[in-house]
Amino acid sequence: MTSATITNRSIVVRRGLRLEYFTLAWNSLEALVAIISGFLAGSIALVGFGFDSVIECASGATLLWRLHSDHDHANRERRERLAVRMVGTSFLLLAIYIAYEAIHTLVHHESPEKSLPGIVLAIASLIVMPLLARAKRRVASALNSGAMQADSRQTDLCAYLSAILLGGLIVNALLGWWWADPVAGLVMIPIIVREGIRGIRGETCCDSPLVSDTGCHNDACCGHGESGRA
């Protein structure tokens, strides 16, 4: 590996670290606002959204650990595989939370509560999370990092959950369809479980093992088409 290549990789790693520090800060604030607002409004959906943010903080912390060890060439691949599995585990925890919340809501016929802070939070997440996920995919492509790619999917799912939370509040307010929010959540579970299982198996979204020394080579999977702008 040439000195120029090492320098370029170091720049990308620092960019990835900044993204993960932002992820931790954002999701910590998101969790605080959602949980407090949820308890005040009596909204299980908002409280659950807050706990999802806690899970995403764990995923972000895992990526920080992975990126801080990027300079250790001897252990890089081993830590990459372990980080992918840890992120995969966080996906499964997220699926369990969504299943519990959705079933609980359906059984008890609990409508999403009106909460202005919750609505503002959901809108903000819908704006920020897709941009953050896109930036993470660029870093994942440049580093050939399946762990970073998996974390970007976690960020995508945060945006989807924000849309479900916001949609549930609006549909319930306009049409009285209290069941729309939990049903939408249940629809997402197979997707989340699939990502979690692939992560635990050490696979990327392109179904190839993350055990090679050169990482993922599927452009559609890891977004290599954007690597030039990473």
Mean pLDDT for 120-149 is 91
So what's the pLDDT on residue 220? 39
95/180 Cα distance (integer angstroms): 18
Q: How far, in Å, CA of 223 to CA of 147, rounded?
A: 14
Confidence class for position 48, pLDDT limits 50, 70, 90: confident
Going from N- to C-terminal start, the domains of the chain cover: 3-224
Backbone CA torsion sign across 211, 213, 217, 222: positive
What confidence score (pLDDT) does residue 30 get?
Answer: 93
Q: Which amino acid is at 92?
A: L
Q: What are 80-106's pLDDT values in tens digits? A: 778 778 878 888 988 898 888 889 888
Please check whether residue 178 is in contact with residue 186, taking contact to mean a CB–CB distance below 8 angstroms. no
Residue 169: strand, helix, or coil? helix
Is residue 141 within 8 A of residue 226, CB to CB? The reply is yes
**Degrees to nearest 5, angle at CA 98 with 97 and 104:** 90
Residue 158, CB-side half-sphere exposure with 13 Å CA sphere: 35
| Token pair of 55 as six digits | 């899970």
Q: Do the Cβ atoms of 222 and 144 come closer than 8 Å? A: yes
SS3 at position 27:
helix
Instruction: Domain 3-224: state its class.
Output: mainly alpha
Q: Helix, strand, or coil here: 92?
A: helix
**Residue 42: burial class (beta carbons within 10 Å; 0-12, 13-18, 19+):** exposed
More confident position, 113 or 189:
189
Tens of pLDDT, residue by residue over 168-222, are 777 877 787 888 878 877 887 887 888 789 878 876 544 444 433 344 444 434 4
Least confident segment among 1-5, 69-73, 129-133: 1-5
Report the SS3 class of residue 209.
strand
> According to the model, what pLDDT value does residue 112 have?
65
> Distance between CA 78 and CA 109 in Å, rounded?
47
Confirm if 49 and 161 have CB atoms less than 8 A apart: yes
